[in-house]
Chain A
Amino acid sequence: MINTGDPASGFAQRVDAAILARAQGGDMQAFATLYSTFGRPCFNLALRILGNRALAEDLVQEVFLKMFSSIRSYRGDAPFGSWLKRMTVNATIDQLRSQRHDAETDSDALLLLQPVADAAPAAVLDAWSLLQRLPARARAVLVLHEYEGYTHAELAELFGQSESYSKSILARALRRLHDLIAPTPGPAPCPTSN
């Protein structure tokens, strides 16, 4: 799994119990505080999976409105950020399911990807532009597994599929990305004779 950075800046951020209590009482200022804490990680997760800024913003709105209406049911069994992250992931998966281009999830669609012309195999790759070259569901599996630490068992549950399904999607996505960034063999050097 890839280290996605400082845990204190994402869903792992702690929330003051007083803020939570106020939010559970319907306090808009407390909701604003929760948004300022988790709005960005929620948006970035949605954006990475959906690959579209407008869709990601709509999804953040949907998730926060849902969170506001269901926050009274939050009992504190898990950290609040984990609870919200789970809500965000579920919403993105639902969004993917409702998208028309679900047909792209057919693993054959991976073969339609275009190669990255300016890939630099030795360097750290521009992960974002690579992810954009994957179909939505393959991108979701890759982001959740490689960046968010989801196991195949969890992915299988999220997608309502078997574990081998998510393993297959992930392996195909990785292999395809690997093919994209592999150096293409250049023309054989011509021997020179003096």
Chain B
Amino acid sequence: MSDLELNGEALPRLPLGRLPVIDPAPDLWPRIAAAQQLRMRRAQARRRVAFAGSAAAAVVLLVATGIWFGGEHGAPREAVDWQARAQALELQLRALSAGRTAGAAALLATTAQNELVLVDAALQAAYDDGGDRERTESLWKRRSELLGALLQARSKNVEISRI
């Protein structure tokens, strides 16, 4: 059957003209934009609620995990980044003037510096052997302690020299 045939009967084409082009109401776009912005705000609110819910769930999970491990294995491990701490102390030490130390402070500084050399060598060896985490962590911790002592000794020297 052709487009213009029904039950074998041919239909003549109609001289239909072009249809008029009509403009929509001028307030149609403001309506659509307002509806879209409302939807976007609602979506944002939903995302915020979902994020807050996830964050709350994560906090609850962390607390529960801490309680669980605390109960099973005693106090949670101290989470200190000894490497970062050692580096920070070293920077503080460099910031102080490298003046001479005297008395007990000088002895402490010398002892600490000597041990620092040993610790640095041990650290290098630990990393050369594959960098076992426990071993390097204890060495970084010791390095931090030595740097702390050295910093204290230098600080005293500064105070003394200022006096």
* Interface residue ranges of A157-194 to B (CB < 8 Å): 164, 167-168, 170-172, 174-175, 177-178, 181
Residues in A lying within 8 Å of B, measured CB to CB: 2-5, 9, 26, 28, 31-32, 35-36, 39-40, 43-44, 47-48, 53, 56-57, 60-61, 64-65, 68-69, 121-128, 130-131, 145-147, 152, 164, 167-168, 170-172, 174-175, 177-178, 181
Give CA–CA (A152, B28) in the complex, Å.
33
Partner of B22, one of A28, A44, A123, A146: A44
Are A167 and B18 touching (Cβ within 8 A)?
A: no
Interchain residue pairs A-B with the least CB separation, the first 8: A171-B6, A124-B17, A43-B24, A127-B16, A61-B32, A64-B32, A174-B11, A127-B17
Give CA–CA (A5, B11) in the complex, Å.
25
Are A35 and B18 touching (Cβ within 8 A)?
A: no
- Contact of A4 with B19 at beta-carbon distance under 8 Å, contacts A39-B24, A61-B31, A65-B39 already known: yes
Q: How far is the CB of B40 from chain A (nearest CB, A)?
A: 7
* Interface residue ranges of B98-144 to A (CB < 8 Å): none
- Contact of A43 with B22 at beta-carbon distance under 8 Å, contacts A26-B40, A171-B11 already known: yes
Q: How far is the CB of B8 from chain A (nearest CB, A)?
A: 11
* Interface assignment of B23: CB less than 8 Å from any CB of chain A: yes
Are A39 and B29 touching (Cβ within 8 A)?
A: yes
Are A32 and B35 touching (Cβ within 8 A)?
A: no
Are A164 and B1 touching (Cβ within 8 A)?
A: yes
Are B16 and A2 touching (Cβ within 8 A)?
A: yes
Q: How far is the CB of A34 from chain B (nearest CB, A)?
A: 10
Looking at chain B's contact residues, the main secondary structure is: loop
* Interface assignment of B14: CB less than 8 Å from any CB of chain A: yes
Annotate B1-15 by CB proximity to A: 1 below 8 A, 0 otherwise: 101111000011011
Q: For A68, list chain B residues within 8 Å (CB).
A: 36, 39
Q: A61-B31, A172-B6 are in contact. List 7 more A-B contacts (CB 8 A).
A: A4-B18, A28-B37, A32-B29, A47-B22, A48-B19, A167-B1, A175-B6
Q: How far is the CB of A31 from chain B (nearest CB, A)?
A: 7
Q: For A181, list chain B residues within 8 Å (CB).
A: 14
Are B33 and A32 touching (Cβ within 8 A)?
A: yes
- Contact of A44 with B21 at beta-carbon distance under 8 Å, contacts A174-B4, A178-B12 already known: yes
Partner of B16, one of A56, A130, A170: A130
Give CA–CA (A109, B73) in the complex, Å.
83
Q: For A177, list chain B residues within 8 Å (CB).
A: 14, 16
Q: For B37, list chain A residues within 8 Å (CB).
A: 28
* Interface residue ranges of B59-97 to A (CB < 8 Å): none
Q: For B18, list chain A residues within 8 Å (CB).
A: 2-5, 127
20 CB-based A-B contacts, threshold 8 Å: A2-B16, A3-B18, A31-B33, A32-B29, A35-B29, A40-B21, A40-B24, A43-B22, A43-B24, A61-B31, A61-B35, A64-B36, A65-B35, A65-B39, A68-B36, A121-B15, A127-B17, A167-B1, A171-B3, A175-B6
Give CA–CA (A2, B18) in the complex, Å.
7
Give CA–CA (A175, B7) in the complex, Å.
12
Are A35 and B15 touching (Cβ within 8 A)?
A: no
Q: How far is the CB of A187 from chain B (nearest CB, A)?
A: 25
Are A127 and B24 touching (Cβ within 8 A)?
A: no
